[in-house]
Structure 1
């Protein structure tokens, strides 16, 4: 049996339906690397900047994402703080549509 992500109840009027949500795929995370804030160079275990070939103090190390073209995108704490919270416990159902009306490619993550 797949790992249960959430056990919730869908309530409407006087009715309540218990629902168990399970992931239908394996999770894929975005790999973040430590990079030199000044120039985006990748930081290794010794905290050496690959571009300047110098050791970098930890105070100058920030999070970054390596784009497919090799560029590094520096992410600040504010950038990461603006992400949606995974702890939201409520889902508002606005309408139901036929499954055939939704392009399967539009699903970010399949569930069942």
Structure 2
């Protein structure tokens, strides 16, 4: 099975300039509508920037593999408990992934 590419600015999707509602919470960046959210008091549209969409995509794929025995059997997901700053960017000390927080 081949996964489709992660959404990126300029890929033909309806990108707009606004605030990222996911991990980085930046304002005035290119964002894409990724879905709706419902809380006990309200509903709203969720927009995310390219790096946060990539991180969400990684999380969803890992979750999918975890449910699919034919997927990445025997692999574990790092919980990113120990963080480090390198070059102004946040990385996990255990798995070395850059985190977009």
TM-score, structure 2 as length reference: 0.24
> Of the two, which has the highest radius of gyration?
1
Where is the helix percentage greater, Structure 1 or Structure 2? 2
Q: Which structure has the higher relative contact order (CA within 8 Å, separation 6+)?
A: 1
